[in-house]
Structure 1
């Protein structure tokens, strides 16, 4: 390991350079990283990278899921819960079923159980790839919300199907009532364990004498504790991390100080940046390990099978997107839906086309055991690995490179945009200023009369200006200002709950500004 350390160090440097290049040429960095890893894997004399699936599941998956749950809007997740739930669970199941039927018919030696196993592996789209692409183009908010929400849950549903299919292949039988009970436990147990551990960590942050460094360290431990605890009792570690992450994110203002929130934001952004870069480079570097196991099937034949499965996934997802729209249009006659308007063909087509596969598919394929319990080799393991690699590579290149072009070409309008984001942001700032000024005039008249800094603050809020630098704040002024900041936070949270048309991202921008203002009090 120590002998290969310079290689891994150079690998990290290459990843950083490629990510900077991707921003320069406006190409999603997962695409460049996979291609670079693929190219590096052909260089002779380099160390062979042997990837353990447990390394990806334990080391990479929990923090990446936790970070995604931390950033997503619970309000929007709940608002679009039906479409997100259908894609995260129903579409994943029907995708796995379609793959199982197709490979059982076209690939010699593939049973339905093996087909379901492969379908479970390749069914969940990768959130990181989609997120990286959407940064370069403007899309309707509902598209990003649906894709982000789906990505949080589809990994759990695909891994549940994967476990059941693995049991069916290993034992040669499948007991439906046992599977149903196990499925319920994986869902309920995973969510419950995540919420319990999240609540315990929340109370630890709140009542123990922690500081910023301790809070950040605890936040790094949290996803691993959730994942390991859930997996130890055979429930869903993915759902545990997602549910616990959503709980802690939703109540972050109650148990974390502004310093901890700002510090944690920087640490988690850097950690996710490095982990995402590594996993996509690993996908490309893993090609020699995958192709080495192909014996009975030619490379050309295996590539053909991979392209066949890719085609099933792309067509199936597009059809599912249009089917979801059709179901919504019918359901609006009987129940209240998030949006009863007909979205046309553009939006569902883009949802269907945003189906790049990534790290979870690779990790699932690698976690297939080499041997069965009776000592026999696991059937078709190497071919499943190769097909998974082809699916990841093809969807990243085909859909990843064309999705930005399609978004610009279709020229989608945002039906949820009541006004430009900056206009909404400035309007909320004016309301915040008025709320703060009312508080000062009603509760702090005496302090304002004595403190020049408070007078300047009142003038700032009255004129909707930024606070000028140069005046030192007394402890009395700081105390009043902290009270005002807390009042503004509460107002923003209530505003977010009461106004369904406001994008939560705008609210979070204001909350971040208030945290920065509170942090500045340490230095003025």
Structure 2
């Protein structure tokens, strides 16, 4: 098991290198799937994925981090559009694709078809951003896709849960399902909020009395999503919604500003690594499992009356096209309703063209959540028999992931190239206002500390001199950001020049420290300390 984990992590590292080396803009998930298939062809890792364990290991941290980092301003500004995509589109997809699957595969029970359709409904913005690395997705569209993904992960997987229960029990009650849904949803959200809030309050209480330990703080943040998920599942609520709610609550808890700066810096680095590793392992595992998935799916297809395996590719293409068509239809109709409501209120709204609607539809790429969800389908029914066409369902989900990634990698750059969009609102004035407020608060704090530390001392003049020099830097910053027009542009150019010069000086400092360390002119401990200080300063003055 340890060897398998190390091989998977090494594959994730290698995939990143291969993606950067490729002349064409290959999405990282596709590279990882291909690398996983290559590993399967040369080595038998014998990885047997246990659905419950797989779900627990990968989904809570990924969903938690999505909730933690999603821009709240964009989430609330476009909440109507996001909810229409994350809830309405999911139900539309479940019904449309569910009946299509049942028609394509008579051997697939309707409940299983709905479960697979629900699994295929969540989208993956990480894959979209990887595809659009060379043709950036408009910022507002990306915020909408991120918000949609955050919520449709939960709604899609909750729908899957109901469909699987119906498949196992053979019965389904709409009234009972609605009541259960309310309990599952409200309970999951409440538990996620409560776990994060109570944990952060308890940690804050301990920190105020014993001091802060960076490693413990980061470890606690890693444990919170698992705690919220497990508690919610134990109480028969949605662990998925609990993880999402825990992440959103964590973003508000961060605004208390109680943790140390070094904790935030290291915490972000740890979470970036966790996200990169978890997403990467999921796609490498998909590639590693492809031979078994294809073999099982071919057997299931023969049961439908087709003997040529090429039908598998045809089925994947039909389902992928159906998903894109349903998404295009929903986005177009939803847009018309939004514009009609705006017209009744007398608002003048930007009317997106069909290219932008098509780009929004094509950006509905399936990824890690879809794969994680389909692998959690039960292995057996309640009576001990095999779950119907499970291998075929896994293959179809894997095929849709791959084909949607390929289609988006080809189509998105074409659709987004030279696309005219309304200019994004500038937040420069807001940023300047906040920076000025922070600088004024710093001046007041310096005056207070200067008076406190310098009174009654022989070196009071030194405190006055140093304090005045620091306060002058803050006043220059305020004056530069308070200017308007050409003077403001000149001040910003001066800031950019200052940043470039500071970065050049910091890099020269670091190179010299390394040179002295290599010549044994100082200890490793001192060299690491000085380099760490320079790294933090470089992060401060680096590009935003």
| TM band (smaller chain) | 0.7 to 0.9
CA distance in 1, matches of 2:9, 2:389: 34
Corresponding position: 1:329 with 2:339: yes
Segments ≥4 residues shifted beyond 6 Å: 465-469
Larger Rg: 2
Conserved in 2, the CA contact under 8 Å of 1:361 and 1:388?
Answer: yes
Conserved in 2, the CA contact under 8 Å of 1:346 and 1:412?
Answer: no
CA distance in 1, matches of 2:265, 2:122: 32
The offset of 1:51, in angstroms, is 1.8
Q: How does 1:266-285 map to 2 (within 5 A)?
A: 266-285=269-288
CA distance in 1, matches of 2:6, 2:189: 38
Conserved in 2, the CA contact under 8 Å of 1:198 and 1:244?
Answer: yes
Go from structure 1 to structure 2 and tell me whether the alpha carbon gap of 1:430 and 1:121 turns closer, same or farther (over 3 Å shift).
closer
Match of 2:60 in 1: 62
CA distance in 1, matches of 2:9, 2:442: 50
The offset of 1:285, in angstroms, is 1.0
The offset of 1:108, in angstroms, is 2.5
Unaligned segments of structure 1, at least 5 residues: 470-512
Corresponding position: 1:346 with 2:355: yes
Corresponding position: 1:416 with 2:424: yes
The offset of 1:205, in angstroms, is 2.3
Structure 2 counterpart SS, 1:86 = helix
Structure 2 counterpart SS, 1:355 = coil
Corresponding position: 1:458 with 2:471: yes
Conserved in 1, the CA contact under 8 Å of 2:282 and 2:371?
Answer: no
Structure 1 counterpart SS, 2:185 = helix
Corresponding position: 1:302 with 2:312: yes
**Which stretch of structure 1 is more off in the superposition, 282-291 or 144-153?**
282-291
Go from structure 1 to structure 2 and tell me whether the alpha carbon gap of 1:340 and 1:346 turns closer, same or farther (over 3 Å shift).
same
Go from structure 1 to structure 2 and tell me whether the alpha carbon gap of 1:202 and 1:418 turns closer, same or farther (over 3 Å shift).
same
Corresponding position: 1:50 with 2:40: no
- The one-character-per-residue Cα deviations of 1:453-476 (angstroms, maximum 9, x if unpaired) are 32222221233377999xxxxxxx
**Which stretch of structure 1 is more off in the superposition, 29-38 or 450-459?**
450-459
The offset of 1:417, in angstroms, is 3.0
Match of 1:234 in 2: 236
**Which stretch of structure 1 is more off in the superposition, 129-138 or 144-153?**
129-138
CA distance in 1, matches of 2:158, 2:248: 21
Q: How does 1:119-138 map to 2 (within 5 A)?
A: 119-138=117-136
Structure 1 counterpart SS, 2:349 = coil
Q: How does 1:185-334 map to 2 (within 5 A)?
A: 185-209=183-207, 210-254=212-256, 255-294=258-297, 295-297=299-301, 298=307, 299-333=309-343
Match of 1:483 in 2: none
**Which stretch of structure 1 is more off in the superposition, 444-453 or 304-313?**
444-453
Structure 1 counterpart SS, 2:296 = coil
Conserved in 1, the CA contact under 8 Å of 2:443 and 2:474?
Answer: no
Structure 2 counterpart SS, 1:398 = helix
Match of 2:372 in 1: 363
Unaligned segments of structure 2, at least 5 residues: 302-306, 455-459, 478-494, 503-532
Conserved in 2, the CA contact under 8 Å of 1:354 and 1:399?
Answer: yes
Q: How does 1:51-130 map to 2 (within 5 A)?
A: 51-130=49-128
Structure 2 counterpart SS, 1:372 = coil
Conserved in 1, the CA contact under 8 Å of 2:131 and 2:408?
Answer: no
Corresponding position: 1:9 with 2:9: no
The offset of 1:87, in angstroms, is 0.9
How many pairs were matched up? 466
CA distance in 2, matches of 1:22, 1:428: 41
- The one-character-per-residue Cα deviations of 1:2-36 (angstroms, maximum 9, x if unpaired) are 5xx1x543442232122133234443211211122
Go from structure 1 to structure 2 and tell me whether the alpha carbon gap of 1:300 and 1:11 turns closer, same or farther (over 3 Å shift).
same
Go from structure 1 to structure 2 and tell me whether the alpha carbon gap of 1:240 and 1:385 turns closer, same or farther (over 3 Å shift).
same
The offset of 1:245, in angstroms, is 1.0
Corresponding position: 1:18 with 2:15: yes
CA distance in 2, matches of 1:153, 1:426: 29
The offset of 1:98, in angstroms, is 0.7
Match of 1:39 in 2: 38
The offset of 1:151, in angstroms, is 1.0
Go from structure 1 to structure 2 and tell me whether the alpha carbon gap of 1:166 and 1:335 turns closer, same or farther (over 3 Å shift).
farther
CA distance in 1, matches of 2:329, 2:101: 19
Structure 2 counterpart SS, 1:379 = coil
Conserved in 2, the CA contact under 8 Å of 1:197 and 1:226?
Answer: yes
Conserved in 2, the CA contact under 8 Å of 1:140 and 1:414?
Answer: no
The offset of 1:334, in angstroms, is 5.2
**Which stretch of structure 1 is more off in the superposition, 199-208 or 296-305?**
296-305
The offset of 1:231, in angstroms, is 1.3
Conserved in 1, the CA contact under 8 Å of 2:15 and 2:28?
Answer: yes
Conserved in 1, the CA contact under 8 Å of 2:328 and 2:358?
Answer: yes
CA distance in 2, matches of 1:136, 1:452: 51
Go from structure 1 to structure 2 and tell me whether the alpha carbon gap of 1:105 and 1:441 turns closer, same or farther (over 3 Å shift).
closer
Structural RMSD (CA): 3.0
CA distance in 2, matches of 1:207, 1:80: 37
CA distance in 1, matches of 2:181, 2:271: 32
Go from structure 1 to structure 2 and tell me whether the alpha carbon gap of 1:392 and 1:218 turns closer, same or farther (over 3 Å shift).
same
Match of 2:440 in 1: 435
Conserved in 1, the CA contact under 8 Å of 2:93 and 2:323?
Answer: yes
The offset of 1:53, in angstroms, is 2.1
CA distance in 1, matches of 2:54, 2:423: 39
CA distance in 1, matches of 2:439, 2:376: 57
Go from structure 1 to structure 2 and tell me whether the alpha carbon gap of 1:332 and 1:413 turns closer, same or farther (over 3 Å shift).
closer
CA distance in 1, matches of 2:468, 2:26: 50
CA distance in 2, matches of 1:441, 1:220: 36
